[in-house]
A and B are shown apart, each in its own frame.
Chain A
Amino acid sequence: GALVYQYPRRTICKSGTSMRMECQAVGFQATSVAWYRQSPQKTFELIALSTVNSAIKYEQNFTQEKFPISHPNLSFSSMTVLNAYLEDRGLYLCGAMADNQAPLFGEGTRLSVL
Chain B
Amino acid sequence: GEKVEQHESTLSVREGDSAVINCTYTDTASSYFPWYKQEAGKSLHFVIDIRSNVDRKQSQRLTVLLDKKAKRFSLHITATQPEDSAIYFCAASLMSNYNVLYFGSGTKLTVEP
Residues of A within 8 A of B (CB): 32-34, 36, 42-46, 49, 51, 59-60, 91, 93, 95-97, 100-108
Partner of A103, one of B1, B43, B98: B98
Q: A44-B89, A93-B44, A107-B43 are in contact. Are A100 and B98 (CB under 8 A)?
A: yes
Which residue of chain A is the closest to B105 with respect to CB atoms?
A43
Which residue of chain A is the closest to B46 with respect to CB atoms?
A102
Residues of B within 8 A of A (CB): 1, 32, 34, 36, 42-46, 49, 89, 97-106
Which residue of chain A is the closest to B41 with respect to CB atoms?
A110
- What 7 A-B pairs are tightest by C-beta distance, nearest first? A97-B99, A44-B103, A107-B43, A34-B99, A108-B43, A43-B103, A103-B99
Q: How far is the CB of B60 from chain A (nearest CB, A)?
A: 18
Separation of A71 and B103 alpha carbons in the complex (Å): 24
Which residue of chain B is the closest to A97 with respect to CB atoms?
B99
Partner of B101, one of A60, A95, A96, A104: A95
Chain B residues positioned under 8 Å from A49 (CB to CB): 97, 99-100
Q: How far is the CB of B113 from chain A (nearest CB, A)?
A: 26
Q: How far is the CB of A48 from chain B (nearest CB, A)?
A: 10
Separation of A91 and B44 alpha carbons in the complex (Å): 11
Chain B residues positioned under 8 Å from A32 (CB to CB): 97, 99
Partner of B89, one of A43, A46, A106: A43
Separation of A51 and B96 alpha carbons in the complex (Å): 12
A33–B99 touching, CB < 8 Å: yes
Chain A residues positioned under 8 Å from B43 (CB to CB): 91, 93, 105-108
Partner of A44, one of B1, B32, B44, B45: B44
A103–B101 touching, CB < 8 Å: yes
B100–A34 touching, CB < 8 Å: yes
Which residue of chain B is the closest to A104 with respect to CB atoms?
B46
Which residue of chain A is the closest to B106 with respect to CB atoms?
A43
Partner of B42, one of A44, A45, A95, A107: A107
Q: A43-B103, A43-B105 are in contact. Are A97 and B98 (CB under 8 A)?
A: yes
